[in-house]
């Protein structure tokens, strides 16, 4: 292999790999305090190497009062003691590297914690050197600058007694927005990022990156006019040209601006993490709590659009789950009788497409949603929404049903390692309840079972690594208007990859038998072939 080609391949390593997301609180508790930690992750690196993933997206482990479980950072250059120490983090980076795994850190650059020293200084006086690191506006106690709302409920403006000003916060009041218009603030962030690059991290996930260039006076939160200017500067001052993978979480990204974020020239980020396909099972114009069935054909059209229109122009993330979303097998699969079949079917659809697939911890064993009593939940979003909706006159039953379906704690229950007490997550009472089904659904049960969901994921990851058609094949959808089937083909030179899935639980006819006649079936969730497609059947063919 020529040196240049090798360089070229390395630059795009994230296109042939799969990224695994760890929510550290819930992964593995090594010291028995009920919270997962960095040493716990190190214990599980052999498992992750077995699975075959190339990188870990590590949800925030920085110093934090944990008002939003780490998405409120009070020191970007230090580690939260409940997760370990800076030395543990360095050990994780090095040990992961020995296992062929890169560590992607989760940077929250849109806001800090209200306990960050910058903010504590900023509220002291209007002429404090840190005051302009945040977004303050004048007003009086009874009149906020405008009526903008925060994502987690309430006004986006919080009054500071004494300073007699409001600060702007898009999330909780404990997460004041940083002022990216201030070059000194930007430089501090770049220095901090370079600190982590020097420690050997493999890249960064950038939390709500589309919201950094807010202009609250103009009611702009996402996608502000200066956004891409700031992203290019960020790139040049930090990770640009360094072969790191960068993924921008952007709820507002669309097919028109995704190529700007993920321009193949490397001027901004490696890829976008956008949500158009994931926000469909809610009532139009309302929010995620207002439930509606998944409009299947529309869903396929959206995925088709991203596959075909971004081709050659940018790069996308492929995901069903993360720490903010419910468990996919409970959401769009079947977490009862067909849990195993539907989990594999959903994995097949996702991993056959173009983009970098993400596996959220526990997805690889088909972990499910949970139903708790309201006081057993931990998530600030759930708690705030519950109070707001009950006060607004919703019935308790309706609110609880929304939480069961969409609450973020569905994804945050402890990882299910084995059938011992607390699912092998911890020897102590975990911070959030373990799902009762852990005796059946756990890693130990699946690792030696060739037909398990876990080993199915492992095969998908191997197929992606070994066949370039997964990364580069052109996408073509079949039967776009069919109400049950999700099917497509990927083509690269004379290589073909065909995926045919029955998305639902009824047995149906398979109209695509001609297409697969001369192809070899490389993966399926049913044993013997059949003319028809059985409940949640998934087939992957190649030539």
Residue 331's closest CA among 254, 384, 379, 279? 279
Could you say whether residue 404 binds ligand TEU (CB under 6 A)? no
For residue 541, give the 3-state DSSP assignment: strand
- Which is catalytic among the residues 37, 72, 177, 249? 249
- Which is catalytic among the residues 72, 114, 177, 207? 207
Could you say whether residue 321 binds ligand TEU (CB under 6 A)? no
Least Å from the CB of residue 114 to ligand TEU: 13
Least Å from the CB of residue 80 to ligand TEU: 15
Residue 453's closest CA among 343, 320, 333, 329? 343
Contact predicate 189/109, CB 8 Å: yes
Buried b (16+ CB within 10 A) or exposed e, 379-415: bbbbbbbbeebeeeebeeeebbebbbbbbbbbbbbbb
Could you say whether residue 208 binds ligand TEU (CB under 6 A)? yes
Least Å from the CB of residue 376 to ligand TEU: 19
Least Å from the CB of residue 396 to ligand TEU: 20
Q: Which two tokens stand for residue 179?
A: 């002022």
Residue 249 annotated in active site: yes
Least Å from the CB of residue 321 to ligand TEU: 12
Least Å from the CB of residue 503 to ligand TEU: 24
Could you say whether residue 168 binds ligand TEU (CB under 6 A)? no
Q: How many residues comprise the chain? A: 543
Look-up: residue for tokens 């799902």? Answer: 435
Q: Which two tokens stand for residue 172?
A: 């909780």
The residue within the footprint of ligand TEU, chosen from 27, 71, 157, 386 (CB under 6 A), is: 71
The Cα 173–Cα 195 span in angstroms is 28
Ranges within 80-119 binding ligand TEU (CB under 6 A): 108
For residue 169, give the 3-state DSSP assignment: coil
Ranges within 9-48 binding ligand TEU (CB under 6 A): none
Closer residue to ligand TEU in complex, CB, 16/322: 322
x-marked contacts with ligand TEU along 120-159 as a string, rule CB under 6 A: -------------------------------x--------
Least Å from the CB of residue 381 to ligand TEU: 6
Could you say whether residue 166 binds ligand TEU (CB under 6 A)? no
Closer residue to ligand TEU in complex, CB, 116/288: 288
Closer residue to ligand TEU in complex, CB, 18/151: 151
Number of Cβ within 10 Å of residue 287's Cβ equals: 12
Angle at CA of residue 243, ends 242 and 246, nearest 5°: 100
Q: Which two tokens stand for residue 494?
A: 């004379």
Closer residue to ligand TEU in complex, CB, 108/135: 108
The rounded Cα 85 to chain-centroid distance in angstroms is 25
Ranges within 405-424 binding ligand TEU (CB under 6 A): 408
DSSP lists the bridge partners of residue 358 as 19
The residue within the footprint of ligand TEU, chosen from 29, 37, 68, 489 (CB under 6 A), is: 68
Could you say whether residue 363 binds ligand TEU (CB under 6 A)? no
E strands along 93-209, which residues?
A: 102-107, 136-138, 157-160, 165-168, 203-206
Residue 440 annotated in active site: no
Closer residue to ligand TEU in complex, CB, 251/311: 251
The Cα 429–Cα 84 span in angstroms is 19
Task: Tell me the CA end-to-end span of the chain in Å, nearest whole number.
Answer: 25
The residue within the footprint of ligand TEU, chosen from 88, 114, 177, 207 (CB under 6 A), is: 207
Q: What is the CA radius of gyration of the chain?
A: 23
Angle at CA of residue 81, ends 79 and 85, nearest 5°: 55
For residue 346, give the 3-state DSSP assignment: helix
Distances, alpha carbon 290 to alpha carbons 171, 393, 403, 499, in Å = 20, 14, 10, 32
Closer residue to ligand TEU in complex, CB, 249/472: 249
Q: Which two tokens stand for residue 297?
A: 């054909």
Least Å from the CB of residue 221 to ligand TEU: 10
Closer residue to ligand TEU in complex, CB, 170/307: 170
Closer residue to ligand TEU in complex, CB, 50/404: 404
**Contacting positions for ligand TEU (CB under 6 A):** 68, 71, 108, 151, 171, 207-208, 251, 288, 323-324, 381, 408
Residues annotated as catalytic are 207, 249
């Amino acid at each position: 292999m020529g040196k240049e080609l090798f360089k070229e391949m390395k630059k795009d390593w994230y296109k042939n790999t799969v990224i695994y997301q760890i929510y550290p609180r819930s992964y593995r508790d090594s010291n028995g305090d009920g919270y997962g930690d960095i040493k716990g992750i190190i214990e599980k690196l052999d498992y992750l190497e077995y699975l075959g993933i190339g990188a870990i997206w590590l949800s925030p482990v920085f110093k934090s009062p944990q008002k939003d479980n780490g998405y409120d950072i009070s020191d970007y250059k230090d580690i939260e003691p409940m997760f370990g120490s800076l030395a543990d983090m360095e050990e994780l980076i090095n040990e992961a590297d020995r296992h062929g795994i890169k560590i992607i850190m989760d940077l929250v650059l849109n806001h800090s914690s209200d306990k960050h020293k910058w903010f504590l200084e900023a509220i002291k006086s209007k002429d404090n050197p840190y005051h302009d690191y945040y977004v303050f506006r004048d007003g009086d106690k009874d009149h906020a600058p405008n009526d903008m709302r925060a994502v987690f409920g309430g006004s986006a403006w919080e009054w500071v007694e004494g300073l007699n000003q409001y600060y702007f916060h898009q999330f909780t009041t404990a997460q004041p927005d940083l002022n990216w218009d201030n070059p000194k603030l930007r430089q501090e962030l770049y220095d901090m990022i370079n600190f982590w690059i020097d420690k050997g991290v493999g890249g960064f996930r950038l939390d709500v990156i589309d919201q950094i260039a807010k202009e609250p006076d103009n009611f702009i939160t996402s996608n502000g006019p200066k956004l891409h200017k700031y992203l290019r500067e960020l790139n040049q001052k930090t990770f640009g040209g360094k072969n790191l993978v960068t993924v921008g979480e952007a709820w507002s990204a669309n097919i028109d601006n995704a190529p700007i974020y993920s321009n193949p020239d490397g001027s901004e980020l490696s890829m976008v993490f956008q949500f158009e396909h994931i926000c469909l099972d809610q009532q139009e114009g309302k929010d995620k709590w207002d439930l509606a069935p998944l409009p299947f054909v529309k869903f396929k059209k959206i995925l088709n659009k991203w596959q075909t229109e971004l081709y050659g122009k940018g790069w996308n993330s492929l995901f069903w789950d993360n720490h903010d979303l419910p468990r996919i097998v409970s959401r769009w699969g079947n977490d009862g009788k067909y849990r195993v079949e539907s989990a594999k079917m959903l994995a097949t659809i996702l991993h056959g497409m173009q983009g970098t697939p993400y596996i959220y911890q526990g997805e690889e064993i088909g972990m499910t949603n949970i139903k708790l009593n309201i006081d057993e939940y931990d998530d600030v979003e759930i708690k705030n929404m519950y109070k707001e909706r009950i006060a607004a006159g919703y019935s308790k039953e309706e609110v609880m049903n929304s939480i069961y379906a969409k609450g973020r704690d569905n994804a945050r229950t402890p990882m299910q390692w084995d059938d011992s007490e607390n699912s092998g997550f911890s020897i102590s009472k975990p911070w959030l309840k373990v799902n009762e089904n852990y005796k059946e659904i756990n890693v130990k049960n699946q690792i030696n079972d060739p037909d398990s969901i876990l080993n199915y994921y492992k095969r998908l990851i191997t197929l992606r690594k070994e066949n370039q058609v997964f990364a580069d094949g052109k996408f073509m959808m079949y039967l776009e208007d069919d109400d049950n089937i999700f099917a497509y083909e990927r083509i690269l030179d004379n290589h073909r990859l065909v995926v045919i899935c029955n998305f639902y639980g009824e047995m149906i006819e398979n109209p695509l038998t001609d297409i697969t006649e001369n192809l070899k079936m490389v993966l399926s969730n049913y044993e013997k072939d059949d003319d028809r497609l059985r409940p949640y059947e998934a087939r992957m063919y190649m030539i």
